[in-house]
């Protein structure tokens, strides 16, 4: 199962992604956490000192790997972030993803609690003004497009802030999208935007309130998002202490906040995979991408990369 954390800048996406990944690990679930943001912060909150090798720096190798011997894709260079898998592509099992070994490179590190962490990588000065921003983030999209995962296998993705996460097909690659919302007008503003996209693409979203102080905050959230409010986390002294550099273990979390993680995991487990929709959307976004810039950039008809005989899922 794949779960994405989206929301306004500073709402708590990274904190919530990390806490959720730690919670899943504590429940024995194998879990891969992916930092899809270029502001790399997830490693820190997961208690990792040495961040993993950035996926975004080895995009060509990743494409080469996933391409396998798919005859519809001439080379790694012909592959864009939305290029869907087809017959001959190298699909990834959850175990493959968690192993994090691609073309001889190690892309995953293990956190003290056993979460496997992977990251897009930082945004360097050199990337400014060029196409690298979206192509770097594209590494995660490519991997998720080629991933065949099942129940009780968890992929947690910390996304970029705000509506940026709709800039690609990435937001359709999940079983559940968690919108982290502070009880403020701006916090619920992103929800409105997201709701439109979600409805259009049949993306299942759940709102998790964050930094909630009192019942009035909960009322505020509920009045704006209604039944989409799944649960909420209170402002956490334990999280604050962690940010101040003090040691943190999941057991330090306040009971109400720990309960919120339990509710969230239950909701993720309750989702049903819809591989047919997954495949349709992969193809739809690829065609959009092809028309918008991909064909012009590559000089190819990228639509031909779609394999009508390919069946998504296990
Ligand atoms: N429940 C909470 N209790 C206390 N502090 C919190 C809580 N959730 C988040 N924070 C704090 O709020 C700040 C922003 O959180 P975080 O970095 O997780 O947000 P983000 O949405 O990932 O931000 P960005 O958009 O910059 O990636 C951090 O200092 C974090 O420690
Ligand atoms: Mg963040």
Give residue 132's pLDDT.
46
What is the pTM assigned to this prediction? 0.95
Give residue 82's pLDDT.
92
Categorize the per-residue pLDDT at 133 as very low, low, confident or very high, splitting at 50, 70 and 90: very low
CATH fold of 2-293, please?
Answer: Rossmann fold (3.40.50)
Q: Which ligand is nearest to the CA of 242?
A: 1
What is the tens place of the pLDDT at every residue in 183-227? 999 999 889 888 888 888 888 999 999 999 999 999 999 999 999
Whole-number Å distance, alpha carbon 150 to ligand 1 midpoint, is 30
For the chain, what is the mean pLDDT?
A: 92
Report every protein residue that has its C-beta within 5 angstroms of ion ligand 2. Answer: 13-14, 41
Give residue 130's pLDDT.
47
Query: What residues does 106 pair with on adjacent strands?
Result: 101
Whole-number Å distance, alpha carbon 80 to ligand 2 midpoint, is 25
Give residue 232's pLDDT.
98
Give residue 164's pLDDT.
63
Position in ligand 1 atom list of the atom nearest CA 236: 3
Q: Mean pLDDT throughout 42-52?
A: 91
Q: Which tokens belong to 228?
A: 């989409």
CB 154 within 8 A of CB 28: no
Instruction: Kindly tell me if the per-residue pLDDT of 162 is higher than 70.
Output: no
| DSSP state letters, 60-94 | HHHHHHHHTT-TT---GGG--TTPPP-TT---EEH
* Contact 44 CB / ligand 1 (< 6 Å): no
Q: Which ligand is nearest to the CA of 8?
A: 1
């Amino acid at each position: 199962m794949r779960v994405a954390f989206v929301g306004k800048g500073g709402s708590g996406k990274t904190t919530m992604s990390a806490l959720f990944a730690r919670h899943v690990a504590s429940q024995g679930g194998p879990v891969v956490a992916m930092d899809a943001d270029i502001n790399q912060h997830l490693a820190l909150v997961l208690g990792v000192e040495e961040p993993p090798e950035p996926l975004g720096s080895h995009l060509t190798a990743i494409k080469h790997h996933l391409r396998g011997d798919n005859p519809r894709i001439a080379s790694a260079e012909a592959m864009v972030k939305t290029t869907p898998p087809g017959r001959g592509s190298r699909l990834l099992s959850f175990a493959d993803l968690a192993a994090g070994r691609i073309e001889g490179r190690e892309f995953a590190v293990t956190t003290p609690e056993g979460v496997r962490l992977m990251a897009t990588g930082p945004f360097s000065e050199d990337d400014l003004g060029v196409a690298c921003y979206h192509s770097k983030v594209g590494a995660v999209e490519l991997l998720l497009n080629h991933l065949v995962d099942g129940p009780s296998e968890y992929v947690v993705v910390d996304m970029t802030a705000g509506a940026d996460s709709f800039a690609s097909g990435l937001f359709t690659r999940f079983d559940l999208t968690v919108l982290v919302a502070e009880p403020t007008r701006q916090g619920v503003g992103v929800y409105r935007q997201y709701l439109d996209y979600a409805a259009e693409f049949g993306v299942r979203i759940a709102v998790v309130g964050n930094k909630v102080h009192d019942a009035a905050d909960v009322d505020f959230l509920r009045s704006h998002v209604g039944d989409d409010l799944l649960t909420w986390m209170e402002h956490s002294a334990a999280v604050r202490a962690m940010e101040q550099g003090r040691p943190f273990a999941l057991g330090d979390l306040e009971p109400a906040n720990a309960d919120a993680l339990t509710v969230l995991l239950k909701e993720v487990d309750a989702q049903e995979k819809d591989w047919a929709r997954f495949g349709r959307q992969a193809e739809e976004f690829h065609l959009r991408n092809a028309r918008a810039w991909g064909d012009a950039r590559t000089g190819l008809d990228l639509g031909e990369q779609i394999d009508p005989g390919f069946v998504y899922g296990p």
